[in-house]
Structure 1
Amino acid sequence: MRVALGVSYNGQSYDGWQSQPSGRTVQDQLEKALGKFADQRISTLCAGRTDAGVHGLMQVVHFDTSAERAPYAWVRGTNSFLPRDIAVQWAHVVPDEFHCRASALSRRYAYSLLESPVRPSVDAGRVGWVFQPLDLAAMQAAATRLLGEHDFTSFRASACQALSPVKNLLRIEISRRGAYWRFEFEANAFLHHMIRNIMGCLIVIGQGKQAPEWIDEVLAARSRDAAAPTFSPDGLYFLGPRYDARWGLPDRTPAYDWLP
Structure 2
Amino acid sequence: MRYALGVEYDGGDFSGWQRLSQPGTAGPPTVQAALERALSEVADAPVATVCAGRTDAGVHARCQVVHFDSQARREPRGWMLGATSRLPPAVAVRWCVPVGDDFHARFSARARRYRYRIVNRPVRAALERQYLAWYRQPLDAQAMHRAAQALVGEHDFSSFRTVRCQAPHARRELQRIAVERVGEELAVELQANAFLHHMVRNIVGSLLEVGAGERSGAWIAELLAARDRTLAGATAPAAGLSFLCPLYLPECGLPEEVTL
Q: Render the CA deviation track for 1:78-100: whole Å, top value 9, x for unaligned.
A: 00100001000000000000011
2:159 maps to 1:159: no
2:3 is matched with 3
Q: Render the CA deviation track for 1:108-132: whole Å, top value 9, x for unaligned.
A: 1001111111112222221111111
2:42 maps to 1:27: no
The one-letter amino acid of 1:232's match is P
Partners of 2:186 and 2:15 in 1: CA distance: 26
1:135 is matched with 140
Partners of 1:197 and 1:247 in 2: CA distance: 32
TM-score (norm 1): 0.95
SS in 1 for 2:130: coil
Q: Report if aligned partners of 2:140, 2:211 keep a CA contact under 8 Å in 1.
A: yes
What is the Cα deviation at residue 73 of structure 1? 1.1
The one-letter amino acid of 1:47's match is A
In structure 2, stretches of 5+ residues that fail to align are 22-26
1:202 is matched with 207
Partners of 1:91 and 1:176 in 2: CA distance: 35
Partners of 1:110 and 1:249 in 2: CA distance: 22
What is the Cα deviation at residue 23 of structure 1? 4.0
Partners of 1:68 and 1:240 in 2: CA distance: 28
TM-score (norm 2): 0.95
2:106 maps to 1:101: yes
The one-letter amino acid of 1:5's match is L
Partners of 2:239 and 2:100 in 1: CA distance: 36
Partners of 1:14 and 1:137 in 2: CA distance: 34
Select the residue among 111, 114, 119 that pairs with 1:114. 119
2:229 is matched with 224
SS in 2 for 1:219: helix
1:175 is matched with 180
Distance 1:176 1:137, change over 3 A: closer
Partners of 2:197 and 2:138 in 1: CA distance: 28
Which sits farther off after the overlay, 127-136 or 52-61? 127-136
The one-letter amino acid of 2:159's match is S
SS in 1 for 2:257: coil
1:16 is matched with 16
The one-letter amino acid of 1:7's match is V
What is the Cα deviation at residue 232 of structure 1? 0.3
Partners of 2:104 and 2:118 in 1: CA distance: 33
Select the residue among 93, 96, 101 that pairs with 1:91. 96
Select the residue among 74, 83, 86 that pairs with 1:81. 86
Partners of 1:178 and 1:251 in 2: CA distance: 30
SS in 2 for 1:119: coil
The one-letter amino acid of 2:66's match is V
1:72 is matched with 77
2:24 is matched with none
Select the residue among 36, 50, 56 that pairs with 1:51. 56
Partners of 1:78 and 1:126 in 2: CA distance: 25
In structure 1, stretches of 5+ residues that fail to align are 254-260
